[in-house]
Structure 1
Amino acid sequence: MNGTSAGDTSGVWLASTVLRLLEQRYGRGRVPSVRVLARHMKDANDGDSISHGHMHNILSGDAVNITDRTRAVLARFLGVPPSALMPAAETAAETDVETLAMRFSSLRPEELAAIEMAIHMVKNRDGQRDHTDRG
């Protein structure tokens, strides 16, 4: 096994996948803190665990690449094969949408408003260009 997976480029994809699996294990809205998760993981994996800090990075989407060891420990704890924690190449479009949705869910209202305004500006500019291109 190598240190990291070249296909695991979306920390947000990983975060949403791990959170979904944790919610299956604990129940929606009942996932414990990262410190408790690290302790549960250690108990369930005969002492093998990942740090609560690394778990925080995974769940926040900041862990873009994880090692094969981390993937194996998480997979064992979550009761899934390690491949379940690697985005599939054929689901790239789904992953992009999921990544975008996950990013948007973490934004403040004023940040969302700024994005919306930028989208409207681009749409209006492109609409004007379409009319001028037609002559």
Structure 2
Amino acid sequence: MLHHITLHLARNAEFPAGSVRHGYNLVAPLTEAGHLDPDVWAGARDRCTVRRFWANEDDRHGLLRHKAGGAHGATWIIDYDPDSSDDDEPGYRLESHVFAPGEYVTIKDQQGAHTFRIASVSAVPSPQPSSAAVSGIAGPRP
């Protein structure tokens, strides 16, 4: 099932209290246990979106990708440009993390690795079929 996930920058030397003005909004597939689900991702990859928000910078929009390679044979990355890997932001062992409020994950961007606190996780409502499809009513004929 797909979930909305909000990450906020965790406390660090520059932001001792963390920052809600730096982070990510993700739509990602999670298992019942809260782990990223590569099987659901495979069928919904274009719906697994990412918005990076960073104070005083334009938002960046991309997709969550599951790519071959990494410590466990595959890795999760944020892909802003499908024609280039130069801007990819890999997550650190995201496959082993539980995505639940209060937990932490690390994402590496061009400036280095940053730790984020998971601020919220909520299920994305399933798309509802149209009323015509539910009732079996055919559409207008040409």
TM-score (norm: length of structure 2): 0.27
TM-score (norm: length of structure 1): 0.28
* Bigger Cα Rg: 1
Structure number with the higher strand fraction is 2
Structure number with the higher helix fraction is 1
* Larger relative contact order, structure 1 or 2 (CA cutoff 8 Å, min sep 6): 1
